[in-house]
């Protein structure tokens, strides 16, 4: 009986420690979060290149830098990522390169440049993640998955490098998370960003119109 209390306390504290530990283990880390986001950005980018750009190529609808000028042009794969990134609040995603066609796509820090060098040097490493100042970053090698990546980059008038070959690492897809974001997840922006209404949103019917199943 005299041992009852200490044993109970011990059992309780072990139990609580276990609960706390498993709750912590269940929290996604910055590393996991960054890698998931990277995986999704990469998947959509690749699907865009293989299923849209390559599919339309023979019809004469091709990716062009100034695609807005003509409805027969498509955004470049990089522009597609950047345009999606512009709709995201709370963290950054984008494309960077050591020899970029657009100087705005240069790495933002030395750590980013070094990661790109590592990805180019060691082709077995597909993703690198690291703390960089107040951000957590993950970079994944952006490979020349189709010949048109190489052709366009090598022939571009602003090309600082003209010897890309198929399957080369052309740059990196990057995700930058703010480390001060709460551990309960990245805060969503207080309201949607103030971008102008796009054509699809404009076509969305007035919400006062009853849904088809109540009409």
Pairing of strands 73-74, 169-178: unpaired
Residue placing its CB nearer to ligand HEC in the complex, 150 or 177: 150
Q: How far is the CB of 201 from ligand HEC (least distance, A)?
A: 24
The CA distances from residue 63 to 2, 40, 77, 84, 104, in Å, are: 80, 22, 8, 16, 20
By CB under 6 A, residue 78 contacts ligand HEC: yes
The verdict on 75 binding ligand HEC (CB under 6 A) reads no
Nearer to ligand HEC, 34 or 143 (CB): 143
- State which of residues 128, 170, 175, 177 lies at the interface with ligand HEC (CB under 6 A): 170
Q: At 148, list the tokens.
A: 């048109």
H or E segment to which residue 172 belongs: strand 169-178
Q: Which of the ranges 84-92, 100-108, 109-117, 207-215 carries the binding residues for ligand HEC, by CB under 6 A?
A: 100-108
Contacts with ligand HEC by CB under 6 A lie at 49, 63, 65, 76-79, 82, 95, 97, 100-102, 105, 142, 144-146, 148-149, 152-153, 156, 170-171
């Amino acid at each position: 009986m005299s041992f009852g209390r200490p044993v109970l306390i011990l059992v309780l504290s072990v139990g609580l420690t276990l609960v706390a530990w498993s709750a912590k283990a269940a929290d996604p880390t910055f590393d996991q979060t960054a890698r998931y986001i990277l995986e999704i950005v990469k998947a959509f980018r690749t699907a865009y290149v293989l299923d849209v750009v390559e599919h339309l190529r023979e019809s004469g609808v091709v990716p062009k830098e100034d695609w807005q000028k003509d409805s027969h042009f498509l955004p470049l794969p990089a522009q597609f990522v950047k345009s999606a990134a512009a709709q995201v609040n709370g963290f950054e995603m984008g494309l960077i390169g050591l020899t970029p066609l657009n100087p705005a796509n240069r790495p933002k820090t030395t750590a980013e440049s070094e990661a790109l060098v590592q990805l180019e040097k060691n082709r077995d490493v597909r993703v690198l993640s690291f703390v960089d100042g107040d951000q957590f970053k993950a970079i994944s090698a952006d490979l020349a998955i189709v010949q048109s990546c190489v052709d366009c980059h090598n022939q571009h008038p602003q090309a600082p490098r003209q010897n890309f070959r198929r399957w080369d690492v052309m740059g990196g897809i990057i995700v930058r998370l703010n480390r001060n974001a709460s551990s309960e997840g990245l805060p969503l922006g207080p309201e949607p960003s103030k971008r102008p209404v796009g054509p699809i949103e404009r076509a969305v019917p007035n919400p006062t119109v009853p849904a088809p199943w109540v009409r």
